[in-house]
Amino acid sequence: MQIETLLNAEIKKVVQSLFQADVNDNLIQLQKTRKEFEGDITLVTFPLLKVSKNSPEKTGEIIGEYLKEKVEEVSDFNVIKGFLNLSISDKYWSTFFNSIYTSEKYGFAANASGKTILLEYSSPNTNKPLHLGHIRNNLLGFSVAEILKANGHYVKKVNLVNDRGIHICKSMLAWKKMGNGETPQSSGIKGDHLVGKYYVEFDKMYKAEIKSLMEAGKSKEEAEKNAPAIIEAQEMLRKWEAGDKEVVDLWKTMNGWVYEGFDVTYKKLGVDFDKFYYESETYLLGKKAVEIGLQKNVFYKKEDGSVWCDLTADGLDQKLLLRSDGTSVYMTQDIGTAIQRSEDFPSTNQMIYTVGNEQEYHFKVLFLILSKLGYDWAKECYHLSYGMVELPEGKMKSREGTVVDADDLIDEMVKTAKTTSEELGKLDDCSEEEKEKLYQTIGMGALKYFILKVDPRKGMLFNPAESIDFNGNTGPFIQYTHARIQSLLRKADFFIDEVSLGDYVFDTSEKEIIKLIYDYPETVKQSCNEYSPSIIANYTYELVKAYNHFYQALPIFKEENEEVKKFRLQLSKKVATIIQQSLALLGIQAPGRM
């Protein structure tokens, strides 16, 4: 039985017996004892003062004495102001550990929840390669999907590819004007990088035209609107929507280059998808939904022919859904995509969108419009919002070519892992083939952990050099501890079976690890409820820190008592299993050797 459940029941008995009163569960507030105090579980006495008719300290003393005498799981107590700190017996912790030691999936949901979740992540534009911001998106989306699965949910990972729109036409137009037939094959440039090159070229051309028009007397706003480049790009978009063969063929060719490039990057990142959606297909369904909304008077049409949704009564603004020329906007496409997904997966209980926090307003509007269109499932849609990633040099801008490409960053991480490992002599005993694999594993582990250990809602500063450190709160530190434990287990020349510790008194470092193992299921659950891999990441770091302290304080093979030695190996093995499972939830490999 969970110790909190047991204590809750016993405290109710105490209150009934000593104070002749019944109390609700919400008055019994139990929490982990703070590290600076002795104890394992703390009861907050303030909510019980009305029934105890005593001071907070006296109430704690009375309840503590009763529990110590009547409940064998409570070995001792102390009272600090209004907080009753209870020490749980070693026997309880020993029984608990024996009960979960052989459970391979301890911490994960034992049964399916019956809940189906569609989780969207990545959602790249086909006018540029993936960059550092996309890396956070992909790693966050993939990890949250794995955490949802660990909690018993059925998850479908989907990717909405932004393969149409004015930004796509900008790359196409620049290639048409300046490309001279250049291809990934002829240039040796990865397809998504090649297309991104022409997106940057368009911006240069556009800015030069704006400057020229302004020098000729036009205002900045007039110049931006009347520059030949933007007018041609807009005309290309209209031709694309009209099905112009030449434009559509070019679009298919350049998008094909990008998809091949994306696939390589996704493989490097270790992320995957169950289904791809393309805005070039779903925007038509969105336009159809807008027409239905007009018929139902959910939307209205202005004199210029543009279609809008008035959300001012809901505290929002008026939202454009179709331009006056009939072309769609992002909102139109997202409406269509959501409807298509509900039709593809009718048993879906929730749709989660992994998108940066600059789009928070967009999703408020999207979910509200879907509700107004009569889709009940809209109230279960959720925006998994995350903060932006910056480098020490500052923000990145795709159109100016100042982004950090995902491929370049991944390669740099692997190189840094190699350099750091060689300097520290960490992999001297490995073969060259093993080393190359480990450089990949360490480099990607460093990148993923550094990004995922930060609460998704917060912005972050990414420093490659910091992330690769073999000490501190980093991926390599955790990976190295896992490898150390595996090495330790390989040295054990006997089978680690069930042990009998008798009246063995745990060392503080042993007990700390068992308590952390006890917390693991709740950690996995909390990370799911909050859609936050950072909870898993930082828990794993705390577990690894506690294990390293134990490892230094209590040399295992020097222990003379065979039962205690076996127990410490058991403890080590369980820690390694939890490290491996937790890293897997973050999309990180746990090497057996380092």
Per-domain residue ranges of the chain? 3-88, 121-390, 406-585
Superfamily of domain 121-390, CATH level 4: HUPs (3.40.50.620)
pLDDT band at 498 (very low <50, low <70, confident <90, very high): low
Cβ proximity of 338 and 381 under 8 Å? yes
> What's the average model confidence in pLDDT over 148-158?
98
d(CA 437, CA 506): 39
DSSP letters spanning 453-511: TS-TTS-EE--HHHHT-SSSSSHHHHHHHHHHHHHHHHH--S-------TTPPPPHHHH
**58 CA to centre of own chain:** 45
Separation between Cα atoms, residue 114 and residue 351, nearest integer Å: 15
Residue 473: per-residue pLDDT: 93
Range in 3-17, 43-57, 254-268, 483-497 with the lowest mean pLDDT: 483-497
Query: pLDDT band at 259, cuts 50/70/90?
Result: very high
Q: What is the reported pLDDT for 350? A: 97
Average pLDDT over residues 303-326: 95
**Is the pLDDT at 492 greater than 70, yes or no?**
yes
For residues 95 and 85, give the distance between their C-alpha atoms in angstroms, rounded to a whole number. 21
Q: Is 560 exposed, middle or buried (0-12, 13-18, 19+ CB in 10 A)?
A: exposed
Name the token pair of 150: 């660990």
pTM above 0.75, yes or no: yes
Query: Do the domains spanning 3-88 and 406-585 agree at the CATH topology level?
Result: no
Split at pLDDT 50, 70, 90, the class of 398 is very low
Positions of E strands within 323-459: 350-356, 382-386, 389-390
Q: Which helix (H) or strand (E) holds 516?
A: helix 508-529
DSSP sequence for 302-355 = -TTS-EEEE-GGGTS-EEEEE-TTS-B-HHHHHHHHHHHHHHH-TT--EEEEEE
Average confidence (pLDDT) over 564-589: 96
Tokens linked to 455? 């609460």
Q: 385 forms bridges with which residues in the sheet?
A: 355
**459 pLDDT above the threshold of 80:** yes
Rounded distance, CA 540 to CA 547, Å? 10
Average pLDDT for residues 90-112, to the nearest whole number? 93
Calpha distance 320→306 (Å, rounded)? 7
pLDDT for 495 equals 60
The region, left, alpha or beta by phi > 0 then psi within -120 to 50, assigned to residue 486 is: alpha
What whole-number distance in Å separates Cα of residue 434 and Cα of residue 429? 10
Q: Across-strand partners of 43?
A: 30, 84
Single out the residue of 525, 442, 507, 524 nearest to residue 478, CA to CA: 442
The secondary structure of residue 89, as a DSSP letter, is P
Instruction: Using pLDDT thresholds of 50, 70 and 90, give the confidence band for residue 165.
Output: confident
Q: What is the CA radius of gyration of the chain?
A: 30
- SS3 letters across 54-66: CCHHHHHHHHHHH
pLDDT at residue 394 tops 60:
no
What's the whole-number mean pLDDT along residues 491-513? Answer: 81
Q: Which residues pair with 391 in a beta bridge?
A: 394
Cα–Cα distance for residue pair 384/60, rounded to 1 Å? 42
Which residues are CB-contacts of 354 (< 8 A; sequence separation ≥ 6)?
A: 119, 120, 121, 122, 123, 137, 140, 141, 144, 384, 386
Coil vs helix vs strand at 171: helix
Cβ atoms of 386 and 136 within 8 Å: the answer is yes
**Residue range 149-159: average pLDDT?**
98
- The answer on pLDDT for 109 being more than 50 is yes
**Which CATH code is given to the segment(s) 406-585?**
1.10.730.10
CA torsion through residues 537, 542, 548, 550, sign:
negative
- φ and ψ at residue 527, rounded to 5 degrees: -65, -30
What is the 3-state composition of the chain as percent helix, strand, coil, each rounded to the nearest 5?
A: 60, 10, 30
Q: Are 359 and 383 in contact, with CB atoms under 8 Å apart? A: yes
**How far is the C-alpha of 375 from the C-alpha of 373, rounded, in Å?**
6
* Three state DSSP letters for 554-589: CCCCCCCCHHHHHHHHHHHHHHHHHHHHHHHHCCCC
Could you give the CA distance from residue 399 to residue 189 in angstroms, rounded to a whole number?
A: 18
Mean pLDDT for the chain overall: 93
Point out the least confidently predicted range of 72-76, 240-244, 394-398, 577-581.
394-398
Q: Is residue 129's pLDDT more than 70?
A: yes
What burial class does residue 190 get, using C-beta atoms within 10 Å of its C-beta: 0-12 exposed, 13-18 middle, 19+ buried?
buried
pLDDT at 502: 74
Q: What is the DSSP string of 23-68?
A: --GGG-EEEEPPTTSS-SEEEE-GGGHHHH-S-HHHHHHHHHHHHH
The span from the CA of 166 to the CA of 151, in Å, is: 41
> Helix axis angle, 132-150 relative to 406-424, nearest 10°?
80
Tell the CATH superfamily of the 3-88 domain.
Answer: Arginyl tRNA synthetase N-terminal domain (3.30.1360.70)
Q: Of residues 501 and 197, which shows the higher confidence score?
A: 197
| Confidence band of 400 (pLDDT split at 50, 70, 90) | very low
**Sign of the alpha-carbon torsion through 460, 463, 464, 469:** negative
More confident residue, 577 or 462: 577
Dist. CA 68–CA 76, nearest whole Å: 6
User: Can you give the pLDDT at residue 402?
Assistant: 53
